[in-house]
């Protein structure tokens, strides 16, 4: 009797690994091979394979080019929890609470 290997828990995969999963899935849907994508990006098929397997992370530049090639927006390649946050991010905590200064200062100011 052989042991069954459980599927990996996708929620515990890194952001980079999930980007790779999404690129690989879209490549399969559109029947784009690693050789095709590598030729367009100027990468070897092995380099594309390393990125698709998560051994090497895709760069932001590469993600942008891949999105264009596949007719997508880069946000569509990013994992949903990052591309479309459920709550808006409030960045005000990172900035000082100072009154806005007039940009047209006069000598008397």
CA distances to 3, 17, 43, 69, 74 from 62, in Å: 39, 15, 10, 10, 10
The mean of the pLDDT values for the chain is 79
User: Averaged over 102-109, what is the pLDDT?
Assistant: 69
Alpha-carbon distance of 36 to 44, in angstroms, equals: 10
**What pLDDT does 5 receive?**
59
Judge if pTM exceeds 0.85: no
Query: Looking at domain 14-74, what is its CATH homologous superfamily?
Result: lambda repressor-like DNA-binding domains (1.10.260.40)
Mean pLDDT of 66-81: 86
Q: Is residue 66 over pLDDT 90?
A: yes
Enumerate the domain spans of the chain.
14-74
Interval 14-58: pLDDT, tens: 888 889 999 999 999 999 999 999 999 999 999 999 999 989 999
């Amino acid at each position: 009797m052989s042991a069954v290997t459980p599927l990996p828990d996708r929620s515990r995969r890194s952001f980079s690994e999930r980007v790779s999963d999404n690129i690989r899935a879209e490549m399969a849907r559109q029947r784009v091979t690693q050789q095709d994508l590598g030729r367009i990006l100027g990468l070897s098929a092995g380099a594309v394979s390393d990125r698709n397997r998560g051994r090497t992370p895709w760069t932001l530049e590469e993600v942008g080019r891949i999105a264009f090639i596949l007719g997508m927006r880069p946000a569509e390649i990013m994992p949903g929890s990052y591309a479309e946050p459920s709550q808006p991010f409030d960045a005000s905590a990172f900035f000082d609470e100072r009154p806005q200064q007039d940009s047209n200062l006069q000598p008397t100011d």
